[in-house]
Structure 1
């Protein structure tokens, strides 16, 4: 069969074909008349387009945080917009962003666990997947930087006690007041789906609280390997371990600045009887976190200096994108000597601002919930901040994860 001419309609083609095949004259004339009298028709579609279905997500659809649900914000919290609750029930804390800002790694006691395991939350779909092996106790998960383009390909590091063989380490005796245990943690890495779990940093005592510089140059972690609670850095493969603090007292919970030139962490600097008490607890594998200040230094620990000096429990510091301001948690608003659980809020301090009368920069209160707000971390772009809070809990004391768009 001949192909229809490019400039002709289907009818004109088949009309000519009928004449060429010597169709009856009346029929051929009718066909030609129809072609001559009808208006030009669209060239496409030349028939019915079949319907198709696909489960693939269009590449042009922009990423947006859809996990969880919107919740009411406190109007006094002027730095927060579009507040969303991401988890619902149990104990969920220490959530940290993936390199592409699409996922969070966090610790939780969900799924019937008696102590924390590590999970990854997809911020678009809301899917949650466990990444630790379900054994022992875990803490301080973090994504490795730099990583492949997608967070599904990135590796995760976290500390775990599973090598000790215990289902869950015993909780500390609080007859000596509120104390944190220094369990036998080692640091491990795994793929985002939990596969290829392997040790990264091991040793007798406490090795935990590891975080990574954005440029992938070093990681920093907390360890008791030299008899005190100090900060150490290492390469991302766990080699070249260097101790970067040496003053007696607790040093831990360190994070690099976005430009990888600074560190911020929590520290105690006890003296006299307080130092004796610190060392006695340390011998029992315990630390009392009621008097911690926020310190900053160079990325190798050089020139350390405090940016708080209030004698309270200041912890969980994290740099803003400018590598200068720091968001941290503190019970600063709780009156001294108050009974009951302290109130922890988030505060903002400019580490390079001129000092106030107490010798450190002034702080700005960010959250106002009468309960627990802590563990803030900014997304890689600085657009969002995630934190843990008791707010909107179904039960008293329940801790969930929240995310908000940061407003300057």
Structure 2
């Protein structure tokens, strides 16, 4: 991973600073009040009900996960993959969790799918639902923990290590094998909708850029090559474009970009001089994305919608704590994200019914 404080960050650049995310650092905004009912479930603002309803918390510390984040749906939406700290440990491992038809966690279905012996991040399902990919340092077990962070002022700085490689495996974690084996950092990986390609971030040329390779690891091709970090890429639903985040100004303020899958036609989507915009993810129609922004302060990240054609934005979450890393289900009816809105304030995974507003 890169310099950042994320529980599951799709890995920011070697000097990207993101304030107080995922660490349970008591950064609640004074503008809102977080309350919990007698069951311990978080209560959210009425303002969220325009887009979100029927919230359910999918992961909890009592499942043996000190914190969890960056979750993605399986193609049939009955399973998720995510990373989490096992209780008492300090290296993220990859997990899957089954969902029932209502989008609630199936009791007893939590499964670690990474081999251990190294830190893991950035999991994703193969579009057939039969396989997974993720990044891991298990080939370099003595590598310094890529989840190390330290504080500089009001920000937490995330270290992006070498020795991270992309692995493919069966959904149950068996048969893990490396798709990359470079000395540097290969991570932040996602399949194309047809399952034939993988887009990822690598610093193999000395700068974190975007690459595309065949699903078997062959045919690696660089698609961005400008100074500064490029990462967190995802193919559009039609496979023709890639959404990503970048620090092109090298000022620790990530912005959103879109580029054709062949590396042409790059376009900047956000340009807020003092705002971090990151973690974009496509809606199924390919017109809009959800993303995470520090627009309301670097101690209170929120989820927003962005229409990439008109530039229109709309706020989705209103929690006083961290809300980010949003993803939308393939049918467009559910949103899953990482949040600290739970009663214990730890970073955990939440899911809600999603209503796409007019204009997005």
| TM-score normalized by the length of structure 1 | 0.71
Please say if 1:76 is aligned against 2:47. Answer: yes
Q: CA RMSD in A?
A: 2.0
Partner of 1:28 in structure 2? none
Please say if 1:387 is aligned against 2:337. Answer: yes
Partner of 1:97 in structure 2? 73
Partner of 1:213 in structure 2? 192
Aligned residue runs from structure 1 range 247-326, under 5 A:
247-270=226-249, 290-311=252-273, 312-326=275-289
1:389–1:399 contact (8 Å) kept in structure 2: yes
SS of match in other structure, 1:76: helix
2:41–2:342 contact (8 Å) kept in structure 1: no
Report which of the two structures shows the higher radius of gyration computed on alpha carbons.
1
Structure 2 portions without partners, runs of 5+: 1-38, 101-105
Aligned residue runs from structure 1 range 196-211, under 5 A:
196-211=175-190
Structure 1 portions without partners, runs of 5+: 1-67, 275-289, 335-340, 354-360
Partner of 2:15 in structure 1? none
Partner of 1:367 in structure 2? 317
- State the structure with bigger RCO (CA 8 A, min sep 6), 1 or 2: 2
The count of corresponding residues between Structure 1 and Structure 2 is 303
Partner of 1:401 in structure 2? 349
1:118–1:141 contact (8 Å) kept in structure 2: yes
Note the C-alpha offset of 1:307.
1.0
| TM-score normalized by the length of structure 2 | 0.80
Give distance in 2, aligned partners of 1:363 and 1:333.
Answer: 14
SS of match in other structure, 1:263: strand
Note the C-alpha offset of 1:74.
2.4
After superposition, the Cα gap between the structure-2 partners of 1:198 and 1:69, relative to the gap in structure 1 and judged at 3 Å, is farther
Give distance in 2, aligned partners of 1:109 and 1:407.
Answer: 31
Partner of 1:182 in structure 2? 160
Aligned residue runs from structure 1 range 3-402, under 5 A:
72-77=43-48, 78-89=50-61, 90-124=66-100, 125-126=106-107, 127-145=109-127, 147=128, 151=129, 154-166=130-142, 169=145, 171-175=148-152, 178-183=156-161, 184-270=163-249, 290-311=252-273, 312-334=275-297, 342-353=299-310, 361-394=311-344, 396=345, 398-402=346-350
Give distance in 1, aligned partners of 2:292 and 2:122.
Answer: 16
1:69–1:86 contact (8 Å) kept in structure 2: no
Note the C-alpha offset of 1:248.
0.4
2:255–2:272 contact (8 Å) kept in structure 1: yes
Deviation string 1:9-32 (CA, Å, 9 cap, x unpaired) is xxxxxxxxxxxxxxxxxxxxxxxx
